[in-house]
């Protein structure tokens, strides 16, 4: 079924001769905001005495009516006339009606496409309901493009955004919307170009800079991503998306002091129920990630007690986070909390997500400390299969194999780890 339904055949049969006979025209689609009571006449009957003499009414059903305006080419004048009709309907008939206006000629739309543009305009008018009124424009096309995007029709979404940009070439919102859709289609170069244009056109535009930062992250350009994310936070200091991305980047680059400064628990409003304007900052799941990153920063700086406290808060915020459980288990071991609590937390992490390398790594490390060498070896080999590029499980396996009197296998694993690079913190 089409997202924006075409008029019924009988309506198009009435409208086509009018379209053909006029080089320019306006078309209005009226729609009732509520169900029409049985004791009320059809909308077309209520509209008839209120419309200009030269106009033509064509009813879609009881609740929807097209109004054809020959020669109309002044959007401001038509908007004023339509708003007047809406007001008189409210006063005379006690009914609330929304309306959308589209014109021919506009861009490269055919005459037959104008009714569909009116229907898209009603989606735009819904933002101002009840008694919403919209004239088909670049904003309408952004809204209809977003609707196609939400339905998974990326091709039509891209076409709507491009048409919108023909009407408003510097629209930051349209450029960002088009960039996101192109990126979803795998057209990365075109998408980046849209985001760059948006960033140039809007000096305080958060979204374009954030999208460019994500591109940089995907391409391994950490320095550029960090700079863009800092720009984002200068625009929206409490945006949790940007805070989380920047913290993750700092940690990946071992910028523990920078991450700690960013995630100042006592100062940053994202740790409080009342703070932030990002996505779901009041949600414990988001705050759990913030605490997990804070724990990693403390751990990297050797402040294990504070790391344990932050990791415990992360687990409390999200008890089913395997990453938080694995981190806390490892910190219990490092902080001398005892093998029992450490092992329990690491087993919980593995149970929550058997495909998470960090969970198997933490479990293997704790089992090694408990001198459960064979079970530790099994856990670390699973970690290696899941994360073959990580040198850390190789080094821990080598340590186990040395204890099991297998020096040749241990040496091979150490050589392998050396080729992979330095282990993480």
Q: Does residue 116 share a domain with residue 145?
A: no
What is the model's pLDDT at position 40?
77
Buried b (16+ CB within 10 A) or exposed e, 195-224: bbbbbeebeebbbbbbbbbbbbbeeeeeee
Domain boundary among 207, 235, 263: 235
Beta carbons within 10 angstroms of residue 288's beta carbon: 21
Residues 6+ apart with CB under 8 A from 372: none
Residues 6+ apart with CB under 8 A from 219: none
What is the model's pLDDT at position 343?
97
What is the model's pLDDT at position 202?
64
Q: Does residue 131 share a domain with residue 1?
A: yes
What is the model's pLDDT at position 279?
38
Structural domain of residue 75, as residue ranges? 1-136
What is the model's pLDDT at position 275?
42
Q: Is residue 206 part of a domain?
A: yes
Domain boundary among 235, 256, 287: 235
Q: Is residue 122 part of a domain?
A: yes
Domain boundary among 108, 136, 164: 136
Q: Does residue 199 share a domain with residue 185?
A: yes
CATH of the domain at 37: 3.30.70.270
Q: Does residue 179 share a domain with residue 158?
A: yes
Low-confidence ranges of the chain (pLDDT < 70): 1-3, 202-203, 265-270, 272-283, 423-425
Domain count, the chain: 2
What is the model's pLDDT at position 237?
87
DSSP state, 107?
A: T
Tens digit of each residue's pLDDT (9 = 90 or more) over 179-191: 999 988 989 899 9
Q: Is residue 354 part of a domain?
A: no
What is the model's pLDDT at position 34?
87
């Amino acid at each position: 079924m089409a997202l924006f339904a075409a008029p019924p055949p009988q309506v198009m049969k009435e409208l086509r001769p009018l379209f053909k006979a006029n080089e320019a025209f306006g078309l209005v689609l009226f729609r009732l905001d509520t169900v029409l009571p049985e004791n009320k006449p059809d909308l077309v009957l209520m509209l008839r005495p209120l419309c200009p003499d030269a106009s033509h009414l064509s009813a879609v059903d009881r609740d929807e009516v097209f109004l054809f305006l020959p020669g109309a080419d002044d959007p401001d004048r038509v908007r004023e006339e339509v708003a007047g009709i809406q007001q008189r309907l409210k006063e005379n008939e006690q009914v609330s009606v929304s309306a959308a206006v589209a014109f021919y000629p506009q861009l490269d739309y055919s005459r037959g496409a104008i009714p569909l543009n009116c229907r898209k305009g009603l989606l735009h008018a819904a933002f101002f309901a009840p008694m919403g009124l919209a004239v088909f424009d670049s904003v309408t096309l952004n809204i209809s493009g977003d609707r196609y995007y939400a339905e998974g029709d990326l091709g039509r979404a891209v076409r709507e955004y491009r048409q919108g940009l023909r009407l408003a070439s510097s629209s930051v919102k349209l450029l960002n919307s088009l960039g996101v859709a192109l990126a979803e289609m795998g057209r990365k170069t075109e998408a980046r170009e849209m985001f760059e244009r948006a960033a140039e056109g809007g000096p305080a535009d958060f979204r374009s800079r954030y999208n460019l930062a994500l591109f940089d992250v995907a391409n391994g350009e950490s320095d550029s991503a960090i700079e863009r994310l800092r720009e984002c936070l200068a625009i929206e200091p409490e945006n949790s998306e940007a805070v989380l991305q920047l913290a993750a980047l700092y940690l990946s680059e071992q910028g523990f002091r920078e991450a700690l400064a960013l995630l100042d628990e006592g100062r940053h409003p994202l740790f409080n129920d009342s703070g932030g304007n990002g996505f779901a900052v009041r949600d414990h799941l988001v705050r759990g990630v913030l605490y997990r990153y804070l724990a990693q920063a403390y751990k990297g700086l050797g402040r294990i007690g504070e790391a344990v406290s932050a990791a415990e808060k992360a687990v409390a915020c999200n008890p089913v986070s395997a990453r938080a459980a694995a981190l806390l288990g490892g910190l219990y071991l490092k902080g001398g909390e005892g093998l029992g609590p450490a092992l329990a937390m690491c087993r919980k992490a593995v149970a929550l997500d058997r495909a998470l390398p960090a969970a198997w790594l933490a479990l293997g490390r704790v089992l090694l400390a408990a001198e459960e060498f064979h079970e530790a070896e099994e856990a670390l080999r699973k970690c290696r299969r899941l994360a073959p590029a990580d040198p850390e499980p190789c080094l821990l396996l080598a340590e186990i194999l040395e204890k099991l009197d297998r020096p040749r296998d241990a040496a091979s694993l150490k050589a392998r780890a050396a080729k992979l690079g330095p282990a993480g913190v």
